[in-house]
Structure 1
Amino acid sequence: MKHTKLWGNLSVLLILMGLIGGIVWKVNHPQDQWNKTQQKKIVVVGVDDTFVPMGFRNQKGELVGYDVDLARKTFQAIGLQVKFQVIDWSMKETELKSGHIDAIWNGYTATDQRAKHVAFSTPYHQDEQVILTVKDRGFNQLTDLNSLDLGIQTGSSGAASYDEHPKLLKKLIRNTTQYDDFSKALNDLQVNRIQGVLIDSDYARYYMAHSKQGENFKIIKTPFPKEQFVVGFRKSDLKLRTAVNKQLAKFKKDSTMNELAKKYF
């Protein structure tokens, strides 16, 4: 009787170990979600809806932008509907891994650190980091920045460049302030709580062109490397990434990307 109970307990233990092992294996070896995506016909894209001109709200509150338009056209051509999900940009990779979103498509720069966790599409746009400041503050070149308080968006490619290349800019800056989006940093810049914002060139130029106070600002170039914008996917979602890459290649050959560039840049 005791042996029977013992073998029964061992059987239950082995079954539990097998179930736990299966769960662990699935977590460490996620499957391609392409079949599920095709069944739902929906792709959820994570965005920061304050990031002009890639993804932002127009005066009617509608989500627009270069990346928004490009994502809609791309997924429509693939036969999928896109749903945009506003996320905390500093948590974008976590949102992707957890399955809350299926892609990151919003001025997302390819970096070595991000490549550890995310699979990238082929690059489709190039940008660079600049410092946006106010003309009458006396900052004209990098050597003037030793008394500057700099605003940086948490989780941005600018923040990554600032930390990864400390000799290029970090050693010059007095203090930095972290923001969850650029709009808050730009508000503080106007009232002199900070004297500069490390920001993507496309954003800075769009802001200067469309802001009522745009003529009061100027751009100081930085020595950071050029940035390649990509779409971020889970590494397991090879088929979705392949489909997007094929469509981006088509848009590069026809007039689609040029038309969007004229519209937003």
Structure 2
Amino acid sequence: MVLLTATVMLSGCTNVKKRANTADTWSMIKQRNKVIIGLDDSFVPMGFREKNGQLVGYDIDLARAVFKKYGIKVDFQTIDWSMKETELRNGTIDLIWNGYTKSPARAKTVAFSNTYLKNEQILVTKKKEQIKQAADMQGKVLGLQSGSSGYQSYVDTPKLLKQYVKSSVQYDTFNDAFLDLNAGRIQGLLIDSVYANYYIKHQNDSASYREMPIGFPKEDFAVGMRKGDKTLRLKINNALHELYQEQTMKSISEKWFGVDNSVDDK
């Protein structure tokens, strides 16, 4: 019985993976007139909830603009960011669209749209800690978000930062990490520059923070989807290109970043 159960479970996992790699769901999305996007709803300014509960952000505006071209509604679903690829593969969501970074590791299981925004991982500290370079994190505690590209970079390139750090703490959201940074429970936070810039800009004590690049490669933000969704990928890429040409992406970027950071990768 145990062997039979294990065989059935393995078969089910294989079928789910095969379907994710081969099924083109565009016709189904059109028929239900809705696409489901998974996100971490605390990732400012890409996708986050205001105090009144309204979901806003750069990626929210951009996703709606993309699917407006096809007359399709967008349903945003909050997910555990560390489980995003599993949610996508299982069909709980259709897309990962929330400051999602392209990487070779993710490309093994996920198909990406064209790049629409550039990002980098930076170290954020409080100036009172006197941390001015990666080596100053010697014996200190670092905060990271679980399942983030920053965490993966931290692990994959230990000589840039990990070799100095005494210990690290993983957080579900950057909001929680900033609470600990402000309270002194961690002394550094490895974080996306777009999040850090927006968060710090909106703090009363913004001058108390220090932001520093420490050598991690620049990153490309893109939309993640199942490998079988070739039509969906084409539709998104075409819409992104049109929105760039129409300067809609420029308008959205200036709204959330104050400058035009948009990229046309077509």
Instruction: Report the TM-score when normalising by structure 1.
Output: 0.89
Whether 2:190 is the aligned partner of 1:198: answer yes
C-alpha distance after superposition, 1:144-199 (max 9, x if no partner) = 11122100000001001111111221112111001011000100001100001100
Partner of 2:28: 36
- Counterparts of 1:198 and 1:27 in 2: how far apart (Å)? 32
Question: Displacement, 1:245?
Answer: 0.3
- Please list the CA deviations of residues 47-83 of structure 1 after superposition, one character each: whole Å capped at 9, or x if unmatched: 1010011001123221000001000110111221000
CA spacing shift, 1:50–1:24, aligned 2, 3 Å: closer
Match of 1:114 in 2: 106
In structure 2, stretches of 5+ residues that fail to align are 1-10, 258-266
In the alignment, what sits opposite 2:70? 78
Residue identity opposite 1:220 in structure 2: M
- Map of 1:97 onto structure 2: 89
Specify whether residues 139 and 99 from structure 1 end up closer, same or farther in structure 2 by C-alpha distance, changes over 3 A only: same
Sequence identity (%): 47
Q: Does the residue aligned with 2:223 lie in a helix, a strand or coil?
A: strand
Q: 2:121 aligns with which of 111, 124, 129?
A: 129
Aligned-pair CA distance for 1:24: 5.8
**Structure 2 counterpart of 1:28, one-letter code:** K
Query: 2:264 maps to what in 1?
Result: none
Q: Distance in 2 between matches of 1:25 and 1:175?
A: 40
- Structure 1 counterpart of 2:45, from 53, 71, 77: 53
C-alpha deviation, 1:122, in angstroms:
0.3
Deviations 1:2-58, CA, capped at 9 Å, x for gaps = xxxxxxxxxxxxxxxxxxx99966752441111111100100000101001100112
Which residue in 2 is equivalent to 1:161?
Answer: 153
Task: State the 1:252 CA deviation.
Answer: 1.6
Q: Distance in 1 between matches of 2:138 and 2:158?
A: 14
Aligned to 1:233: 225
| Counterpart among 205, 210, 213 of residue 218 in structure 1 | 210
Helix, strand or coil at the partner of 2:184: coil
Q: What SS does the aligned partner of 1:147 have?
A: coil
Map of 1:176 onto structure 2: 168
Cα distance in 2 for residues equivalent to 1:89 and 1:26: 20
SS in 2 for 1:170: coil
Counterpart CA distance in 2 for 1:22 and 1:147 is 46
Gaps of 5+ in 1: 1-20
Match in the other structure for 1:18: none
Q: Which amino acid counterpart does residue 140 of structure 1 have in structure 2? A: K
RMSD, matched Cα = 1.8
Per-residue CA deviations over 1:79-98 (Å, capped at 9, x if unaligned) read 21000000000000000000
Structure with greater Cα Rg: 1
- Where 2:97 maps in the other structure, the secondary structure is strand
Cα distance in 2 for partners of 1:26, 1:214 equals 47
Residue type at the aligned position of 1:185:
A
Q: Which amino acid aligns with 2:167?
A: N
